[in-house]
Amino acid sequence: MITSKRLAAGACALLAALAAGIAVPAGAVAGEPTPQDAPKVDLVLDVSGSMRTRDIDGGSRMDAAKQAFNEVVDATPEEVQLGIRTLGANYPGNDRRTGCKDTAQLYPVGPLNREQAKTAVATLQPTGWTPIGPALLKAADDLDGGNGTRRIVLISDGEDTCGPLDPCEVAREIAAKGVGLTIDTLGLVPNAKLNRQLSCIAEATGGTYTSVRHKEELSGKVNQLVDRTTDKVVTPVAVDGTDRCDAAPTLKSGLYTDREVFGQHRFYRVDVKPGQELRASVSVSDDRPVNPDYGVSLRAFTIHGREIVRGEATGTGRTDMMSTGLRYPKAESDDENAPAETVCLQVANSFSPAAGVKTTPGLPLELTVDVVDGPSQASDVAAFGLGRGWWLLGALVLTGFLGGLVWGWLSRWRFAVWRTN
């Protein structure tokens, strides 16, 4: 999982993350990075009969895909484990049940032998059906295990022909497992129905969808996606929020992921000691069509139900994500043995599903929690006011006042000179 709307949503998420500070994964020791396994990529290629169509730079779609795969195999970083899976490559007949099982691992995910991988791709010929949903399920199994980055890159020229197994629902089920797997999709035909299906698959897992029409564009995009797996990322920790604070899980500083159904409230607990500051942000993704007019809120309560502070975000049009955040500084105490305060964080959303849209699994959310040492002086705190910004405001007011006096004096002097002349 880029449209301008996704960029806007991403900007909101970035601002919320900055407001919340940089999170340390739960259980990690400051200054010690968590070891990560080698990144894995499974390239999933549509080899259905329509791939023989000759409409990409004078050649067939299959030829363009083969060229892209060869270039990607040559450019894949050494640390990346790469595999290749096909769909529709082996069964040429008309039996739908058999054709919809036609997905196979052409080259297993693992250390890359470039010559073997390219030889395997060279044997492919456009053949059968388009079982995208089954191929995605198998690709997720191909990438199972480890804590490194995992990415599926799907290249197709047509929508799935094997319903009722909806590939978009398959992608949501994969995301709901909390395995940290991203699916990116590339479409070889500017078809509205294909665009909607591939976009939905990508959005469900936080991936991207791209429509490509030229060989170089296809090669460049796949290379970019493979390279992206080498970026170091923080893997969210799966957590189950509850519908009330007293039963909620207690979170430490870190990045967490959960699922929240439409209109639901989810509670989490955080312990904040005197002199510390709680910074939290949440992003809720609408990974399926929703009705306009919606919002997301993050509220902090005492264990007795008194609201402390809140963050809210609302919208009225199509978006991919809503984000908001809050900060709560806990005042210092003269008592060195003063206990920590338990703060209840409540995440709520007002999304509603469009007609015919499934409500399960719930909407994916990411919650960032950071508990840090607070500022030593109250004047340093700018969370609920201008803080030291009062000095700048005072200087600006004084400058404006003096400038007004000088301008008034000059105006009176010029007027007096004009009357004299």
pLDDT 10s digits, 293-352: 889 999 999 999 999 999 998 887 666 678 899 999 998 888 888 899 999 999 999 989
Please determine, for residue 257, whether its predicted confidence score (pLDDT) is greater than 60.
yes
Joined tokens for residue 217: 């564009």
Residues sharing a CB contact under 8 Å with residue 347, sequence separation 6 or more, in sequence order: 241, 258, 260, 265, 266, 267, 268, 282, 284, 296, 297, 298, 365, 367
- 3 state DSSP class of 36: coil
pLDDT tens digits, 46-86: 999 999 999 999 999 999 999 999 999 999 999 999 999 99
CATH code reported for the domain at 237-380 = 2.60.120.380
Confidence of residue 22 (pLDDT cuts 50, 70, 90): very low
Give the Cα separation of 204 and 196 in Å (integer): 12
The structural domains of the chain, with segments of one domain joined by +, span 37-228, 237-380
Total Cβ atoms within 10 A of residue 81: 21
* Residue whose C-alpha is closest to residue 42's, from 119, 169, 145: 145
Find the mean pLDDT for residues 159-181. 83
Percentage of residues in the chain having pLDDT higher than 70: 82
The residue with tokens 């009330």 is 244
pLDDT at 131: 94
**From 58-62, 127-131, 170-174, the region with the lowest mean pLDDT:** 170-174
From residue 373, give the alpha-carbon distance in Å to each of 20, 221, 273, 275, 332.
Answer: 13, 43, 9, 6, 10
Range among 72-86, 199-213, 380-394, 398-412 with highest mean pLDDT value: 72-86
**307-315 and 363-373 strand pairing:** unpaired
pLDDT attached to residue 28? 38
Give Cα 217 distance to the centre of its chain: 24
Helix (H) or strand (E) holding 390: helix 389-420
Give the other-Cβ count within 10 Å of 185's Cβ: 30
Looking up tokens 């601002």 gives 15
Give dist(CA 72, CA 224) in Å, integer: 9
Q: Would you call the peptide bond into 164 cis, given omega within 30 degrees of 0 as the criterion? A: yes
The Cα 302–Cα 263 span in angstroms is 22
As a whole number of angstroms, the distance between CA 86 and CA 94 comes to 18
Label the pairing between strands 150-156 and 209-211: unpaired
Describe the strand order of the beta sheet including 81-87 as a list of residue ranges: 103-110, 81-87, 40-46, 150-156, 181-187, 209-211
The average pLDDT across 384-404 equals 63
CATH of 37-228, one of 3.40.50.410, 3.30.200.190, 3.40.190.10, 3.30.830.10: 3.40.50.410
Helix H or strand E encompassing 389 = helix 389-420
Q: Nearest 5°: phi and psi at 258?
A: -155, 180
Q: What is the DSSP string of 127-163?
A: -B---HHHHHHHHHHHT-SSSS-EEEEEEESS--SST
> What would the mean pLDDT of 190-212 be, rounded to a whole number?
87
Q: List Cβ<8 Å contacts ≥24 apart for 175-178.
A: 175/204, 175/205, 175/206, 175/287, 175/364, 176/259, 176/361, 176/362, 176/364, 178/236, 178/238, 178/257
DSSP string, 162-219: STTS-HHHHHHHHHHTT--EEEEEEESS--HHHHHHHHHHHHHTT--EEE--SHHHHH
- Provide mean pLDDT across the span 398-413: 73
The pLDDT score that the predictor gives to residue 342 is 96
Give the model's pLDDT for residue 285: 83
Do residues 197 and 159 touch, judged by C-beta distance below 8 A?
Answer: yes
pLDDT of residue 14: 39
